[in-house]
Structure formats: C-alpha cells, structure tokens
Structure 1
Amino acid sequence: MTAPNPRDSVETVFDRRAATYSNHTWHVRYAERLVALAAPMAGMRILDAATGTGLAAIAAARATGPTGHVVGVDVSAGMLTRARQAVDAAGLLTIELVRADATTLPQFADGSFDLVLCSAGLLYLPVQAALREWRRLLRPGGQIGFSTMAAGFPVAARLFRNHARRHGLALTDPASALGTQARCRQALRDAGFTSAKQVGETIRFSSRDLEHAWEAHTRGPHHDAIATLSAEQAETFRRDYTDALADRLRTDADRLLTAEVIYAFGER
C-alpha cells in the first residue's frame, strides 16, 4: 500500500478511483434514485454535474428519451473515460460528456438547462459556488436536485474518522455541511433557490462495498490528511481500520451496512 501523495490534485485522485467507482453497487442505486425523484420528462435539457462514471446521466437520458439532451461534466479524465464506455455500451446518443470544473461553466449560457443533477458530488465541491453557478444555468422555473449522506453516515466512514484520531489525524465529517434536511434547505435558499422538497431515505451497502472502503476514504475527501502520514504509518492505520471494519461486520452488520441519505430539490 502506497501512501497518498500530497501533491495529487482532485483530478488525479478521481482518475485513480475511476476504475473501481462503478463497482460500488450502491453508487448506481443512489444515482438512479435521485433521477427517479427528480422525475425528468421527455425532451428535457439536463446537466449532470460531477457526473463521475455517468451513472445519473445515463438514468436521466433514459428518462428523457431521444428528444432530450444530457450533459455530464466532470474534472476527472479517468472518470469521463469510464463514463464514455458506459454510455456507449448503453447505446445512448443524447449524452454529451465535458471535462470541466462543475462549479465554473462559462461555456454554457444562462438558462441552458431545465434540470441540474448532482449525485453525491457536493461532498467534494464548494457548496455555495456550485449551487450559484447551477442556478445561473437553469431556466426560470427549472429544478435542481442533489443527494448527500446524512451527517454521521456511512458508519464505516465514522469508524474511519475514529481510528484516524488514534493515528494523530483530526478529520471532520465531510457530510456535515449538508447533513440534515434543514441544512440542505438553507443551502438552497442561500444560493437563491426556493426549496422544493427534501426526501430522507436509507440505502443499503453490500459487504463487497466494504472491500473498497479504505480506498474510498483515502482517495476521497480525506486524501490530503492521509497524505501527511508516512507509508509505514498509513499501513498501520490501514490494518487497524480494516480489522475494525471486519469485526463490526461480524457483530453489527445491519448498522454498518445501512446509511441515511438525503435527496434535496430546489426551484429557480
């Protein structure tokens, strides 16, 4: 195991995650549920911000049909390569993939889209900068929809932060900024949206998802902090965490594999 490089950019981190991202089956269900709740109609113009491997974009394209148009934007070339493979395999001709910072999209005019979606991506973005740019891109009456983990979830991530403290790292919960329905409503209002609805649900992981937990945490929002550890320190942390995760799976699998999530919607 190699310790993360502190010089790695966000793009590099996600390029490395691209190969295994869609292996997490919950990512697929999470994205598809966001699209289902947004209920896009045929012919809509949709932006999928921080599209990753294109999971929400593909679901949206299927919903909007041949008269719709979906633009998936991501900063990671590796993610977009995987997205293109998935789009081509699905035979969808209405999806355009663009490599760009999802918070700054001057190539698109004001009011270019009917719906903006962001499945799990706000975890890695400056929330207000993103929401305000997406509001600009929506037509009057257009809708935004995003998903987020509730604060304190997933349990495996909380366990990771608890173990990090034992190795001298004080990590904050990246879900805390949008981790309650009230915070989601406030974030939307601060960006100029009218809050439309908040839907709280649970999502179930599989035990196979936990096989990628260390990678997800060390190549995700805690990447910079983990990169301050030496290779030896990181390996000790990894062993401690994965052992604790395996023990929790044996003793409290239901709690470990269930997470509370929020789907938040607003109108321009």
Structure 2
Amino acid sequence: MHLYRSWGSRLFDTLNYVLMFLIASVTVIPFLLNVTGSFASPEEALHKNFILIPEHFSLEAYRYIFSTNIIPRSLLVTIFITIAGTVINIVLTSLMAFPLATKRLRLRRPIMLMVIFSMLFSGGMIPTYLVIKSLGLLNTYGALLLPSAISAFYLIILKNFFMQLPDELEDSARIDGCNDLQTLFRIVIPLSMPAIATLTLFYAVGHWNTFFNALLYINDSAKFPIQVWLRTIVILSQTGIGDSANSFEGAIPPGKTIQMSVIVVSTLPILVVYPFLQKHFAKGVLLGSVKE
C-alpha cells in the first residue's frame, strides 16, 4: 500500500536531497582535487589550478616523498603518537569518569567544578611551556602526550554515559567480589563501548592533526609528526619557494604535487579508520549528553 504524499512533501524531500548533495560536494571536492592533483605531472599542476582528471598520470610526487625517510619516519611518529596518546586518553578518562559517576564519592561536585573550570580557563602557552620544561619533557614525546591526557569535555560526556548504567550492575558485581577496577573493566567499559569508540576516534583525530604542540616542544626534526612537515610544505608552496630551484632536505621538489601528495598520505590513514567507528557516533554522543 502506497501512502499518499502531497506535492509539498515531495518538494521538501527534493530540496533536502539537493541541499545535502551540495553540502557533501563542498566537503568532498577539495579532497578529491588534492587526490587527482597528486597524480598529475608537475608541469600540469603548475599551470592548472583545478585538476579533476589528470591529462598525464604521474607517480613522481609519491616517488619523491618516499625516496627519503622524512615522510615515512614522520608518518610512523604520528601513528605512534596517535596510538599511544589515544590509549592514555581512554584509560585515564575512564579511570576518572567512573568514580565521578558514582554518587558515593565524596567531594564529587567540587571535583566536577574544578573540571569545568579547566574548560573555561587555562594556564596559557608560556606557563604551560615552563611547566613542561621544568618536568624535563622538552624534545620528548611526553610533551605531546601528557598535557592532553584528559579532555574535560570528553570526561563529562563519558561520566554522564556511565551514570545512565543501572546501579544494580555495580551492586551485583560487588556481591560477586569485584573491586572498583574489576567493576570498571569487566562490567562498565564493555557496556559503554559506543561511548568509548566515539571518544577513541575523537581523541585519535585530535592527536593525528596536532602540530602546534610539536612546534613548541619538539626541536629534533627526526621527531616531527607528519603534520609539521605538511605545514612546512604548504607554507613553501604558498610562498612559491617550493616551485623554484630551492631545495627541501637537499632535493628539488616537483612543484605543487608534493603538497597534494603529502596531504593525501597524511589524511588517508585516519579516513580508513573512520568508517569502522562511525556507526557508534550518534548513539555514543547522544547517550553521553544527558544531563546529570
């Protein structure tokens, strides 16, 4: 049986489809142009601003960026920072969110006020730099992992998610002899995988895209993540230096295709991971957003 639909309803659906297609195009086309431009010859990339389909297919840009260990090494550094940082984030956020979600914790509200205060005010760049320097973390990966170990916003989301779990689950776990850590890792976290998966991707994307902290705290170029090199290449491309006879690490880059190929290489891994966690987004964020 077909339900009758008025012309206004069908017109509304059509306009929605057109609007969603335009929005999707705005987000997809720039990346698509980077992908196709990275496979264009250097001469074609220099003389054309937009390359939808390359006239001369070329892998010269990818051969160049992988001809030295600069980009592969920085990519491995970024992967390490992303994996290690995300593990630290999820473990510490869970360990702090679980006690804050239990009503039997004393001083729970003052602690939450301090957490919210940290969302509104921070020490600032210079005091943070001095703290990291005094701890001996300069030019180490710890400077990229420890200052952002817990996000106050994500902590509140996970705490609210934990609070929606039935109290009877924790009571039954205690009757079975579980302590707090066993209750967290055996009962609470398995039931909170939508929220954990959502925060995992949010944390991972944040670590993958970070470059400012590396510029502040890392002096050794061998420890630079790929985003720092990408920033350098983009700046050189915008100033025209990359298209001249100047060198990048002792070699002449083949024009704008270097910039496009590095963008593709730095974006592709996180795009591969995204579809596996996307299904958890709506459920995880919405369930964790209910107020206490």
> Quick check: TM above 0.5?
no
Greater RCO, CA 8 A, separation 6+: 2
Give the strand-richer structure, 1 or 2: 1
Question: Could you say which structure has the larger radius of gyration?
Answer: 2
Give the helix-richer structure, 1 or 2: 2
Question: What band does the TM-score fall into relative to the shorter chain?
Answer: under 0.3
